[in-house]
Amino acid sequence: MATVTFDKATRIYPGSERPAVDALDIEIADGEFLVLVGPSGCGKSTSLRMLAGLEDVNSGRIFIGDRDVTDVQPKDRDIAMVFQNYALYPHMSVADNMGFALKIAGTPKAEIRQRVEEAAKILDLTEYLGRKPKALSGGQRQRVAMGRAIVRQPRVFLMDEPLSNLDAKLRVQTRTQIASLQRRLGVTTVYVTHDQTEALTMGDRIAVLKDGLLQQVGTPREMYEKPANVFVAGFIGSPAMNLGDFQVQDGKAVLGSATVPLTRATLDAISAEDDGKVVLGFRPESLNQVPEGNGGIPVKVNLVEELGSDAFVYGSLAGDKELAEHLGSGEDSSQIIVRVDPRDVPMKGDTIHVQIREGEEHVFSNATGERLPA
């Protein structure tokens, strides 16, 4: 087992002026499951490949334990990687695929067989050891790829979007298996995904990247309850947080008929560059339906998503079209998302009025997008 440290690690691809990964600074504890998450092109896979030794580090350093591995060959880093496309040899059996790296390393046959059988038992693959990959389902192939990593007994697991090729139901099932397996083995794991639901459900901590820059690192609960900036607020959470441009008037954030009191600490943190505005964020579950005329936000219902135990209204700010451009969700800036009672859902075309529950708003600087103190 080992810690992993990115010490201002930067990667600039030839012909590009902007770094794909810009001065990445993260310390990953021994045995921790860290998830790198972000939109396509944010630098998460490049960061993983830098750690694996598959990409050069232009500046900064990378450590595994106390050892500087910045210039060490991939085969000498004592890591095992699980890929998105499984990367199994089609002509080999499951047992041969799982034990191939040990065979190349000259490990005795008896030890290879023992390690493969132990990994197969953990992954519920014992009855498939004699099969070829083409005779397996997608989920079983992914477990074989996991088994190949486990038998190596590495210091660090690296996983690059390993669930992307699975269907939705299998993805949910497999992510719980991977998370529980990692906790059982206790191996430091760096996991890359673009799916923030995966990140929230699997990671001990999450690191959010955007345009090669680290935005925030924290536990799933910290990321959800205290996003560091507007980007993290809109990216983490499903459905996404609602975000709006509010004017600051008489100690309150105001958008049309909606008013939200601001604390003294928030008001003191607003700078001249903010131009008398703040970005206000609120989760779909942080809204209460109120009677018309109570200072609520009028929402015209465009769609109701009924999920049995939950129901979500997708709508738009009713009335003023100009104001509607200033309020929407992180997923789609033209719509507002409201969680409603699944036993009492409004109809499409209705207008409901909602109010942000006191203390559940998130306030960000209009100029920088950074979180303001509450």
* pLDDT tens digits for range 212-258: 999 999 999 999 999 999 999 999 998 999 999 999 999 999 988 78
Same domain, 177 and 326: no
CATH, residue 144: 3.40.50.300
The pLDDT of residue 3 is 96
Does some domain include residue 370?
no
pLDDT tens, residue by residue, 69-83: 999 999 999 999 998
Q: pLDDT tens, 113-130?
A: 999 999 999 888 999 999
User: If phi over 0 gives left and psi between -120 and 50 gives alpha, with beta otherwise, what is residue 144?
Assistant: alpha
Residue 177 has pLDDT above 90, yes or no: no
Q: State which of 233, 266, 284 marks the end of a domain.
A: 233
Closest to 365 in 3D by CA, of 251, 228, 235, 191: 228
Q: Name which of 220, 209, 149, 215 is nearest 178 in CA terms.
A: 149
Cα gap 93→128, rounded to integer Å: 9
State the residue range of the domain holding 361: 239-365
- The verdict on 28 and 149 lying in the same domain is yes
336-340/311-317 β-pairing = antiparallel
Are 47 and 25 in the same domain? yes
Q: Which of 233, 256, 286 is the last residue of a domain?
A: 233
The reply to whether 133 falls in a domain is yes
**Residues 135-150: pLDDT tens digits?**
998 889 988 999 999 9
Q: Report pLDDT for 174.
A: 86
Identify whether 374 is part of a domain. no
* 224's tokens: 């959800």
Q: Are residues 179 and 59 part of one domain?
A: yes
Does residue 373 fall inside a structural domain?
A: no
* Same domain, residue pair 197 and 324: no
User: Has residue 131 been placed in a domain?
Assistant: yes
Give the whole-angstrom CA distance, residue 303 versus residue 337: 10
Domain assignment present for 263: yes
For the chain, the domain total comes to 2
More confident residue, 294 or 358: 358
Please state, for a pLDDT cut of 70, what percent of the chain lies above it: 99
pLDDT score, position 190:
97
Whether residues 183 and 307 share a domain: the answer is no
Please check whether residues 13 and 147 belong to one and the same domain: yes
Together in a domain, 152 and 272: no
Nearest CA-CA partner of 297 in 224, 249, 343, 355: 355
pLDDT at 66 over 80: yes
* pLDDT value, residue 225: 95
Same domain, 204 and 149: yes
Label residue 170 by pLDDT band (50, 70, 90): confident
Q: In what order do the strands lie in the sheet with 213-218?
A: 79-82, 156-160, 188-193, 33-37, 205-210, 213-218
Note the pLDDT of residue 114: 95
Q: pTM of the full predicted structure?
A: 0.90
Distance CA 261, CA 107 (A): 67
Q: Which of 233, 266, 282 is the last residue of a domain?
A: 233
Q: What distance in Å separates the CA atoms of residue 333 and residue 47, rounded to the nearest whole number?
A: 30
Q: What's residue 139's pLDDT?
A: 87
Residue with tokens 């505005």: 277
372 assigned to some structural domain: no
- Answer yes or no: do 302 and 272 share one domain: yes
Q: Cα–chain-centroid distance for residue 242?
A: 18
Report the pLDDT value the prediction gives residue 196, as an integer from 0 to 100: 86
Q: How many angstroms separate the CA atoms of 190 and 168, rounded?
A: 22
Residue 46, both tokens: 């490049």
Rounded to whole angstroms, the maximal C-alpha distance in the chain is 78
Nearest to 244 by CA among 306, 123, 329, 172: 329
Distance CA 250, CA 128 (A): 69
Q: Judge if 117 and 202 occupy the same domain.
A: yes
- Domain containing residue 275: CATH number: 2.40.50.140
Query: Is residue 268 in some structural domain?
Result: yes
Chain segment 311-360, per-residue pLDDT in tens: 999 998 887 776 777 788 877 777 899 999 999 999 999 999 999 998 89
Average pLDDT score over the chain = 92
Same domain flag for 65 and 214: yes
Residue that wins the pLDDT comparison between 171 and 265: 265
Contact predicate 304/348, CB 8 Å: yes
- Give the model's pLDDT for residue 166: 82
Query: Which residue type is seen at 178?
Result: I
